[in-house]
Amino acid sequence: MAALNPLRREWETTLSDAGVASPQADVTWLLCHVLDTKPGTLSLREEISSEHAAQVADLVARRATRVPLQHLTGSQAFRMVELEVGPGVFVPRPETELLAGWAIEQLHVAIAAGVESPVVVDLCTGSGAIAKALADEVPQARVHAVELSEDAFAWASLNLAGTGVDLRQGDMALAFDDLLGEVDVVVCNPPYIPLEAWESVALEARDHDPHLALFSGDDGLDAMRVLEARATELLKPAGVLGVEHADVQGESAPAVFVATGRWTEVRDHQDLAGRARFLTARLAR
């Protein structure tokens, strides 16, 4: 057995020196993963076995090369659900929980208005994070999701198994012809990073998240334009849409919807850090 606290400080220093943004939190989660425990119980531990220490040290060394924490633990919490993630799928970020929360609120609004089973479509579902959260928190809803990437679709299939979500593989520009004009809510976390911003992307995302889920043309809005056109076809009159965007797109992303004249109530929303994060709009009647 070995004293745990000196090892924790050593591992935290290793990650800090490697440029990891949250070394203390990352070491905590790696310890929880290896010890199969929760963060609140770690303070009660003073020692760690040599075998467990070696496992954590190996994970810390890999994290120091900027392998995403979630690829090392194999999971990511999202609202009230747990997702399995790994190479080939975009790791869902905490800020996307706000977009999912907005969609959940809109489904409840529809139910309160007398829609017994509101229809929601999650375009570019990736790991299935938003779709799984919607199915979990609004069981009355009919949740549909689509993903283009074969690798990401495999992860989504794993995460959405048994949830009742209608998951399909395909292009969001062509998906759900059987639902045209029948959808109450469209939600999407599309790729939105401009190609020219390559160098500014965090190493965890740039080197490990699939580029299909990250980059979207010279201005980062190519997918946004496709989404606008498809959502127009999918939504009922007065149906609503929510879509995530980059923090620098607080004006340019909503402008995509305003410019077509097909939308009302186009609004942008901030995340908890006060950064522009997602827009919402209502299809004109």
192 is in an annotated binding site: yes
Alpha helices in 172-277 (DSSP H): 203-208, 222-234, 252-258
Check the CA dihedral 269-133-29-67 and report its sign: negative
97 is in an annotated binding site: no
Distance between CA atoms of residues 238 and 265, nearest Å: 10
244 is in an annotated binding site: no
Residues contacting residue 123 through CB under 8 Å, at least 6 positions apart: 145, 146, 172, 175, 186, 187, 188, 190, 227, 230, 231
Task: Give the DSSP letter of residue 215.
Answer: B
233 is in an annotated binding site: no
Residues contacting residue 109 through CB under 8 Å, at least 6 positions apart: none
Residue type at 149?
Answer: S
190 is in an annotated binding site: yes
Residues 108, 81, 190, 174, Cα dihedral to 10°: -70
Cβ atoms within 10 Å of 218's Cβ, excluding its own: 10
State residue 205 phi and psi, 5-degree precision.
-80, -50
**Degrees, nearest 5: CA angle 14-20-26:** 80
Q: Could you tell me which residues are annotated as the binding site for substrate?
A: 189-192
Q: Could you tell me which residues are annotated as the binding site for S-adenosyl-L-methionine?
A: 147, 189
Q: Could you tell me which residues are annotated as the binding site?
A: 147, 189-192
